[in-house]
């Protein structure tokens, strides 16, 4: 029963360094097996989702050599199977990037259909539409997506919804298709750009990533490369909101401030001080913050992955804030947990109407998903008294050494495995 136990009420202050972007890394690992040559990936976050995907690609025959905690060498020259079984998909949805990668390289792939998810239904119809447009047969059989093509031929694809996953998956397959592919209404997230840069380093010809039209000139094969993953925008944003919620002062290092602009703008609007440096941001709050309205949107809009963390700040701020979740239909589940800590939030459809309270009081809460889990930890750090956060397996999937980094900022938090350890912590911190 792993859980975080937290004694809150102390401003978080100091410096923290941000790791590589998990969501970029998941796609980049899939891209790495698209060549028979060795690919070295640096700045890989050491989180569970990444370890699981590495196991999945080892299982199909890729050679994975861990150089250190944040660097791996991958050789996809001996892949013996293009079939990725359900166990892996169940653990991480992003194993679906193996569909695009394997289809591109071997012109066939069988990957278990990702199951449902806590934040919404998350269909992959746009991924499949893209593969079909490139000439692949796509069937769902016995819970697997089964795709194969005699040839993949470049084409013009218009995405009906802006989807990060579909944009990347189509880009992977199209990188090794014949001729030109154009993806319209493409996602513009920083990790889409990072995956395109990585593929280009491997010899692909992709232009326009970061805009809503991506042009891919298929190449015959890709080659080995060394690539360093961009910093994680959401991990950085999470620490920015930790500074705001605890009225602390944190220098968040190893970030790309441009990627954080939507978060920075909202924090400034409610009264935080945000200072930008070349590769760092400093966020501080000295007084009670104000209210605002937020609507999640595809990049460069406010990220859905930052919605719960920002709501935690707003629920402690003065006045009424409105948070609208427009990307996923089921991403306000943490509201009931936060209510147990004293927040006053009413949910109507996909909108949370938040009447800010002065304090949270510690409680036992459950992490409903990755980002909401991190948000509840921050709420615990801002709250009076003790909070325990259960189901932290979600948080461990995406944040490296979350509790360690928070402790280095003065946070009183411990990952415990038993009632005895929890009791010991309570006695120690008083
Ligand atoms: C990625 C991120 C996730 C983030 C999300 C939005 C990874 C591993 N995960 O998820 O953390 O919250 O982007 O920034 O990178 N949709 C369809 N059909 C499809 C695909 C998507 O209808 O085929 C819909 C989804 O239900 C959702 C919207 O499009 O409403 C956006 O989803 P998408 O951008 O694809 O999210 P993911 O790539 O799954």
Chunked in runs of 10, what are the mean pLDDT values of the chain (430 residues)? 94 98 97 98 95 92 96 96 80 89 96 72 90 96 92 97 97 98 98 98 98 98 98 98 98 98 98 98 96 97 98 98 94 95 97 97 96 98 97 94 98 96 92
Which residue, by CA, sits nearest to atom 22 of ligand 1?
A: 123
Residue 348: which residues within 8 A CB-CB, separation 6 or more?
none
- For residue 187, which atom of ligand 1 is closest to its CA? 34
Which residue, by CA, sits nearest to atom 12 of ligand 1?
A: 305
**pLDDT at position 34, please?**
98
**pLDDT at position 91, please?**
75
Exposed e or buried b for every residue in 278-316, given b needs 16+ CB within 10 A? eebbbbbbeeebebbebbbebbeebbbbbbbbbbbbbbb
From 384, 385, 386, 387, select the one nearest 375 (Cα to Cα): 387
35: three-class secondary structure by DSSP: coil
From 39, 105, 50, 117, select the one nearest 73 (Cα to Cα): 39
**pLDDT at position 200, please?**
98
**CA–centroid distance, residue 106 to ligand 1 (Å):** 25
Residue 80: which residues within 8 A CB-CB, separation 6 or more?
60, 61
Show the DSSP H helices in 33-152 as ranges: 48-59, 86-91, 97-106, 125-133
Q: Are 22 and 398 contacting, i.e. CB atoms less than 8 angstroms apart?
A: yes
d(CA 120, CA 187): 19
Which residue, by CA, sits nearest to atom 17 of ligand 1?
A: 123
27: three-class secondary structure by DSSP: helix
**CA–centroid distance, residue 304 to ligand 1 (Å):** 10
Looking up tokens 């697997």 gives 144
C-alpha distances out from residue 168 to 26, 64, 215, 281, 354, Å: 11, 22, 12, 28, 35
Mutation choice for ligand 1 from 122, 212, 306, CB with most ligand atoms inside 8 A: 122
324: three-class secondary structure by DSSP: strand
Q: Are 171 and 183 contacting, i.e. CB atoms less than 8 angstroms apart?
A: yes
> Between β-strands 156-158 and 180-184, what pairing exists: parallel, antiparallel or unpaired?
parallel
> Between β-strands 280-284 and 293-295, what pairing exists: parallel, antiparallel or unpaired?
unpaired
Which residue, by CA, sits nearest to atom 15 of ligand 1?
A: 23
**CA–centroid distance, residue 164 to ligand 1 (Å):** 6
Mutation choice for ligand 1 from 129, 163, 399, CB with most ligand atoms inside 8 A: 163
From 249, 246, 174, select the one nearest 206 (Cα to Cα): 174
User: Is 117 annotated as catalytic?
Assistant: yes
From 315, 304, 302, 312, select the one nearest 265 (Cα to Cα): 302
- For residue 94, which atom of ligand 1 is closest to its CA? 8
Mutation choice for ligand 1 from 53, 121, 161, 331, CB with most ligand atoms inside 8 A: 161
**pLDDT at position 98, please?**
95
Report residue 16 CA to chain centroid gap. 19
- For residue 119, which atom of ligand 1 is closest to its CA? 12
**CA–centroid distance, residue 248 to ligand 1 (Å):** 32
Which residue, by CA, sits nearest to atom 38 of ligand 1?
A: 165
Mutation choice for ligand 1 from 160, 164, 188, CB with most ligand atoms inside 8 A: 164
Residue of 13, 117, 272, 412 with catalytic role:
117
- For residue 23, which atom of ligand 1 is closest to its CA? 15
- For residue 304, which atom of ligand 1 is closest to its CA? 12
**CA–centroid distance, residue 187 to ligand 1 (Å):** 10
Which residue, by CA, sits nearest to atom 19 of ligand 1?
A: 124
From 49, 53, 11, 3, select the one nearest 31 (Cα to Cα): 53
**pLDDT at position 92, please?**
83
**CA–centroid distance, residue 114 to ligand 1 (Å):** 12
Q: Are 94 and 29 contacting, i.e. CB atoms less than 8 angstroms apart?
A: no
**CA–centroid distance, residue 272 to ligand 1 (Å):** 30
Give pTM, 2 decimals: 0.97
> Between β-strands 108-112 and 351-355, what pairing exists: parallel, antiparallel or unpaired?
unpaired
- For residue 122, which atom of ligand 1 is closest to its CA? 26
273: three-class secondary structure by DSSP: strand
**CA–centroid distance, residue 135 to ligand 1 (Å):** 23
Residue 129: which residues within 8 A CB-CB, separation 6 or more?
157, 160, 166
- For residue 305, which atom of ligand 1 is closest to its CA? 12
49: three-class secondary structure by DSSP: helix
Residues touching ligand 1 (Cβ under 6 Å) are: 23, 26, 94, 120, 122-127, 161, 163-166, 187, 304-305, 327-328
How many other C-beta atoms are found inside a 10 Å radius of the C-beta of residue 428?
Answer: 10
d(CA 413, CA 404): 8
């Amino acid at each position: 029963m792993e859980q975080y136990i937290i004694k809150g009420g102390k401003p978080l202050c100091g410096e923290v360094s941000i790791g590589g972007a998990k969501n970029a890394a998941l796609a980049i690992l899939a891209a790495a097996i698209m060549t028979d040559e060795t690919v070295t990936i640096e700045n890989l976050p050491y989180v569970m989702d990444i370890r699981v995907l590495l196991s999945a690609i080892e299982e199909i025959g890729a050679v994975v050599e861990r150089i250190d905690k944040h660097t791996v060498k991958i050789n996809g020259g001996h892949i013996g199977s293009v079939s990725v079984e359900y166990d892996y998909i169940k653990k991480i949805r992003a194993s679906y990037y193996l569909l695009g990668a394997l289809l591109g390289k071997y012109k066939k792939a069988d990957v278990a259909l990702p199951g449902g998810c806590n934040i919404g239904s998350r269909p992959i119809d746009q991924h499949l539409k893209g593969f079909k447009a490139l000439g692949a047969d796509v069937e769902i059989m016995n819970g697997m997506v089964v795709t194969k093509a005699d040839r993949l031929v470049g084409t013009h694809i218009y995405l009906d919804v802006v989807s990060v996953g579909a944009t990347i998956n189509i880009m992977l397959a199209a990188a090794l298709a014949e001729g030109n592919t154009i993806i319209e209404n493409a996602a513009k997230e920083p990790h889409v750009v990072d995956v395109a840069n990585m593929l280009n380093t491997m010899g692909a010809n992709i232009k326009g990533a970061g805009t809503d039209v991506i042009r891919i000139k298929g190449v015959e094969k890709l080659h080995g490369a060394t690539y360093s993953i961009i910093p994680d925008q959401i991990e950085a944003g999470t620490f920015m909101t930790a500074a705001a919620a605890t009225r602390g002062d944190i220098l968040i290092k190893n970030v790309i401030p441009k990627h954080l602009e939507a978060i920075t703008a909202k924090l400034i609007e409610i009264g935080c001080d945000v200072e930008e440096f070349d590769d760092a941001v400093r966020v501080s709050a000295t007084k009670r913050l104000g209210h605002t309205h937020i609507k999640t949107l595809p990049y460069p809009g406010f990220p859905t992955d930052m919605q719960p963390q920002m709501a935690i700040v707003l629920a402690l701020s003065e006045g009424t804030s409105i948070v609208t979740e427009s990307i996923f239909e089921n991403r306000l589940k943490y509201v009931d947990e936060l209510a147990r800590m004293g927040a006053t939030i009413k949910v109507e459809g996909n909108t949370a109407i938040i009447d800010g309270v002065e304090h949270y009081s510690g409680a036992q809460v459950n992490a409903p998903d990755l980002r909401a889990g991190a948000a509840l930890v921050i709420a615990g750090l801002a709250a009076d008294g003790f909070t325990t956060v259960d189901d932290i397996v979600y948080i461990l999937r995406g944040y490296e050494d979350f509790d360690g980094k928070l402790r280095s900022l003065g946070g009183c938090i411990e990952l415990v495995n038993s009632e005895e350890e929890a009791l010991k912590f309570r006695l120690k911190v008083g």
